[in-house]
Structure formats: C-alpha cells, structure tokens
C-alpha cells in the first residue's frame, strides 16, 4: 500500500494545474505528509486518484510534448500506459537538466521529437561535444503496433507464451547512455521499460524490465561502492532479495563472451518482471529510475576536473570499443529496436560513442591501473560484501 502511494506521487509529480507555479511547489501534495494512521493512508490514497482527475498535464516540465495525445493521458490517469509515459518523460527531463548543469559553457541537449507511422514515437535528446560530456543521449519511446517475427522469436526464447497470428503490442521506456570526455569519469547506462502484448483471444500479458550499470575506465573503489549502495537502497525499498538477484543478472547479461570479460562493473538488470502486482512492479521501476541521478552525478562532480593525459585517453577509447562490440552484437534492446518495423536507427544507435579505438592484440600490464580494471571485469566483485554476511 505504501509503495503504491509513493509511486503514485512520483509518477504524477510531472502533473500540475496549468498555472504558473514553481516546480517543487506542486510536486508533493499536503496529504503526503499526513501518513501515519490507517485513516490518513486511506485519505491520501483516495486523494491521489481524485487529484489525477482534476489536474492537467503541464508539458513545460518535459523536454517536448508527450507522444500520446495530452487529452487521452488526462482522461486515463490510472492506466499503466499513462503512468509509465509520464514517469519516463519526467525521468528524461530531470536527467537531461542535471547533466546540462554539469557543463561549463552552457551546452544544451538537442531535442528531437519523432513519430512512427506504425504507431507512437519518441523523444531523442542528445548532447554532443560538450566539455564534460563528449556524447550523452537520453531517449524515451512510446510505440505500438504488431510484434515483428524477430521480436516474437526473441520473447519466446525467454519463455513467453505467445500465440500465432498478429500480436498487438505497446512498449514505453526510457534509455540513456552517457559518454564523458574525461577518462576518470565513468560511463553510465540505464533503461527502464514497460511492455504489453495482446493475443487473438484478447488476453493481455504485461511486464517491466530495465536496469542501471556503470562502465568505468579506471577503477575507483569508493565510487563503485557508492554506485552499488545507491542501487541497493532503491531495491531494498521493495524487496531485499532484488539487489543480489539483479546484481548477479547484470554481471551475467553485460558479459562479452568473445572477450571473456564484462562491459563494466555492473549494477542491476532484470526483465519480465510481472509480480507481485502491476502497481508494485511500477513502484519498483520508478524507484530504480529515480536512483540514477544520486548514483551517478556525484561521480561526475568528483572527477570531471581530474587531470589526465594521452595514455588515459587512449585507454578510454579502447574500452569504448568493447562497449560498441557488446551493444551491436549482444544487446537485447538494440536487437529488438532493429527488428521493429519503422525503427528509428539514429535513436537506436544513440548509445554508441562519438569516438572509439581498436588495437591489434592490445593487453595492459597486469600491475597497471588498466590491468587492475581488467581483473575486475574478468572477475565481477561483490562490492557491498553481501556474500560475507551471515
């Protein structure tokens, strides 16, 4: 109950009456602070739904207009499609503005709102050639149509029971990849998504997926612990088993088989989450998405002015090459996007860095800082030492 109420406020923190108000003034209604008794919980829960019906969506809080018609969103505030679209648009706007604030010369995101003939569209936000971020992409997509055969095959391989014939689907998600200029600042990737598929009988399947992971070029133990501890905090709000389960899944998913190494130091990753309830799953995904800024921005601020030279830059470009290999060969989201009719390839390939490097048979010295990173990439670490606890 508490998780559902908390998620409701987060999901609709981007809704406000169409009047000039400061952003934080309307984000948390007064009823939120009355929690503590059963009566207060009941009153707050009821007011959440009442406020949804009364309030109007203010597009100025987003990077662009929503993909779905605003009237439709306002008339269906409790529909999961509405809740997910508004949540990912808020996350996109908050993250873009947080990244812009780290730039020295006022560099801003280019915003590209696009539509798809087959149904839906997206908003691609890209910042290139910044002083802090060499390339940063933060995308949302809200698409619908019929599942292509390649996507159906991929889902069946994961255990999804999908009937033959046309399969209408709806998908909404936010995805970001940030490639910093300074090699001492790590790259971050996150993706959170919601999926619906309907078969010929009208039966609907739904699930959530996503995760956040970090790819440093030089290992910093304190940074790694901070990152994982923040993600664990988001997970623990909902289920104490989530972090250890999804951390292990992340290490396995972002493994590069032909290199026998991981892409980075992991984080969390999950897919096909359809329990304990739709509201609870949405609350969990919202918490994870909200944890991105506190997990990453302190690392940017800490290292963006650190000194580095050509050897560090060369190593960064070599590691970016590994990033490219994983994304183009193994990444499930990239494959789904490329298999989808009407796919927007510029947005799908937004995750690739501006520059990368490959050297023949390159191998760092074992006792070097580069070698220390490789040891962790080949042998994922329990950063929070959970396995040592009784």
For the annotated catalytic residues, the residue numbers are 189
User: For 117-256, where are the E strands, in sequence order?
Assistant: 120-128, 133-146, 168-180, 187-198, 204-215, 255-256
End-to-end Cα spacing for the chain: 30
Query: Rounded CA gap, 182 and 313, in Å?
Result: 8
Closest CA to 11 of 28, 23, 33, 35: 28
HSE of 244, CA atoms in CB hemisphere, 13 A: 9
**What is the widest separation between alpha-carbon atoms in the chain?**
68
Name residues whose C-beta falls within 8 Å of residue 82's C-beta, 6 or more positions apart in sequence.
Answer: 68, 72, 73, 76
Query: Rounded CA gap, 320 and 300, in Å?
Result: 18
Query: Rounded CA gap, 371 and 363, in Å?
Result: 8
Closest CA to 200 of 167, 170, 171, 156: 167
Beta-ladder partners of 257: none
Length of the chain in terms of residues written: 390
Q: Alpha carbon of 319 to those of 201, 249, 363: distances in Å?
A: 48, 22, 12
């Amino acid at each position: 109950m508490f998780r559902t109420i908390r998620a409701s406020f987060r999901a609709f923190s981007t809704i406000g009456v169409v009047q000039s108000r400061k952003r934080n003034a309307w984000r948390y209604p007064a009823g939120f602070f009355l929690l503590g008794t059963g009566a207060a919980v009941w009153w707050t829960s009821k007011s959440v739904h009442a406020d949804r019906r009364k309030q109007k969506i203010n597009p100025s809080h987003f990077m662009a207009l929503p993909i779905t018609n605003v009237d439709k969103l306002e008339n269906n505030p409790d529909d999961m499609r509405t809740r997910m679209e508004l949540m990912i648009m808020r996350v996109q706007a908050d993250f873009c503005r947080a990244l812009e604030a780290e730039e020295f010369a006022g560099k801003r995101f280019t915003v590209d709102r696009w539509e798809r003939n087959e149904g839906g569209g997206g908003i691609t936000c890209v910042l290139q050639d910044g002083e802090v971020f060499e390339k940063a992409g933060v995308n949302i997509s809200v698409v619908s149509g019929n599942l292509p055969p390649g996507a159906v095959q991929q889902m069946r391989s994961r255990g999804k029971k999908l009937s033959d014939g046309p399969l209408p689907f709806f998908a909404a998600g936010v995805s970001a990849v940030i490639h910093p200029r300074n090699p001492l600042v790590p790259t971050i990737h996150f993706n959170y998504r919601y999926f619906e598929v309907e078969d010929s009988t009208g039966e609907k399947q739904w699930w959530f997926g996503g995760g956040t992971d970090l790819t440093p070029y030089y290992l910093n133990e304190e940074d790694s612990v901070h990152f994982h501890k923040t993600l664990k905090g988001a997970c623990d709000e909902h289920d104490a088993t989530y972090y250890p389960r999804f951390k292990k899944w992340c290490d396995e998913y972002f493994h590069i088989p032909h290199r026998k190494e991981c892409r980075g130091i992991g984080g969390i990753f999950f897919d096909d989450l359809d329990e304990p309830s739709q509201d609870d799953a949405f609350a969990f995904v919202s918490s994870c998405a909200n944890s991105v800024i506190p997990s990453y921005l302190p690392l940017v601020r800490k290292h963006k002015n650190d000194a580095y030279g050509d050897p560090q830059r060369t190593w960064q470009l070599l590691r970016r090459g590994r990033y490219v290999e994983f994304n183009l060969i193994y990444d499930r989201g990239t494959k789904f996007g490329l298999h989808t009719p009407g796919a927007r390839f510029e947005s799908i390939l937004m995750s690739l860095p501006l520059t990368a490097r490959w050297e023949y048979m390159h191998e760092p010295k074992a006792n070097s800082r580069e070698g220390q990173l490789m040891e962790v990439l080949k042998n994922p670490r329990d950063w929070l030492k959970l396995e040592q606890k009784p």
